[in-house]
Amino acid sequence: MKKLLSVFAILAFIGSASAATITDENVTIDLETSEVNISMDVADMTSSAFYYTSSFPINDDFEARVNGKSAECNKEPLPPGTYVTCDVESSDFKINFVYSTEGLVSQRNGVNIFRYTQSIQRPTDKYNLKVFLPSGTGLIDKSNVSLPVISPGDGLSDTDGQRIFVEWDKNPSLGQLSFQTIFTPVSNPESEGLNLIWILPLVIGALIGGVVYFLFSMRENLDEAYEEISKDGKDVLDMIRENDDSMLQKDIVDESEYSKAKISSVISELEDKGIVNKSKEGRSNKISISRKYRY
């Protein structure tokens, strides 16, 4: 316990020595993939290193970007979370972290409980947390549990048309923020069948339109894409094509002569140009050639 208190005391000292203001911090958590996406606008930074402490462990798929460019960061375990330091070159910048984690959801008496805490160590003007529930789940009826279904109670629930999410907007003081929501699986086969009757014609129409677009635009777009990307990008793109148009990012690193950081940079280049799509698969990313560029 003394060691842990000493660590937090050191962090508090470092935080005060590298004064900065977070004008806007947005955290999005996907409980289906356990992915966390954090975006912060930082102002008045007085140090060349930015420090951040997470309340949950950060897995090896951690990626960081400063002003849209890949950033050099170090991370160290700081139970129960992780301590991150990133090199920065200006006093005002936007920094983004994307990583997967563990332990966001626990089970109690047959229900799922999401709990998240965040230590506010710098003056923060605005803090937003948005949590997407897994597919096929919904908020539990508050009459069925003794705990609050959404805490703090000013959190709002909504849907993006596919999944339910809960969102909080805060203007926090220094200290700790704590959030909670309780959810369970839901099922309504009768409603799903009714929706399918209306959705099916739209899906068929969209598929036909997509095929027509694909057939008429693919070749021209492919030639243009190869003219706009770097040699490294072409090498990675050819490797993915040879593996049925999709590969795990970790396999690209293993099978290429490039470093993990280099592959991450190349993938970001191809993704920014719309040539590949990146999606979570386990603890790695699945890199797939965009459909319009496939043969």
The tens digit of pLDDT for each residue in 42-101 reads 999 988 899 999 999 999 999 999 999 999 999 999 888 999 999 998 899 999 999 999
127: pLDDT strictly greater than 50? yes
**Structural domains in the chain plus CATH codes:** 2-185 (2.60.40), 190-293 (1.10.10.10)
Residue 273: partners with Cβ closer than 8 Å, 6 or more residues away: 225, 228, 229
Q: Residue 10: its pLDDT value, please?
A: 45
What amino acid occupies position 281?
E
In this prediction the pTM is 0.60
Q: Residue 197: its pLDDT value, please?
A: 56
How many other C-beta atoms can be found within 10 angstroms of the C-beta atom of residue 208? 10
Band (pLDDT 50/70/90 cuts) for residue 256 is confident
166: pLDDT strictly greater than 90? yes
Q: CA 144 → CA 106, 141, 147, 184, 232, distances in Å? A: 17, 6, 9, 11, 56
**Spatial distance between the Cα atoms of 295 and 292, rounded to a whole number of angstroms:** 8
Mean pLDDT score, 2-19? 46
> Would you say 256 and 265 are in contact if contact means Cβ atoms under 8 Å apart?
no
**H or E element: which one contains 214?**
helix 189-228
Q: Residue 33: its pLDDT value, please?
A: 96
Pairing of strands 175-185, 73-78: unpaired
Share of the chain above pLDDT 90, in %: 49
- For residues 189 and 242, the model is more confident at 242
> Would you say 119 and 53 are in contact if contact means Cβ atoms under 8 Å apart?
yes
Q: What is the pLDDT of residues 187-238, one digit of tens each?
A: 654 444 545 555 667 778 778 777 666 655 555 455 667 777 888 888 888 8
18: pLDDT strictly greater than 60? no
Query: What's the burial of 124, exposed, middle or buried (CB within 10 Å: 0-12/13-18/19+)?
Result: buried
Q: Residue 234: its pLDDT value, please?
A: 84
Q: Residue 69: its pLDDT value, please?
A: 93
Q: Residue 130: its pLDDT value, please?
A: 98
**Spatial distance between the Cα atoms of 133 and 145, rounded to a whole number of angstroms:** 18
Mean pLDDT score, 254-267? 88
**Spatial distance between the Cα atoms of 238 and 191, rounded to a whole number of angstroms:** 45
164: pLDDT strictly greater than 70? yes
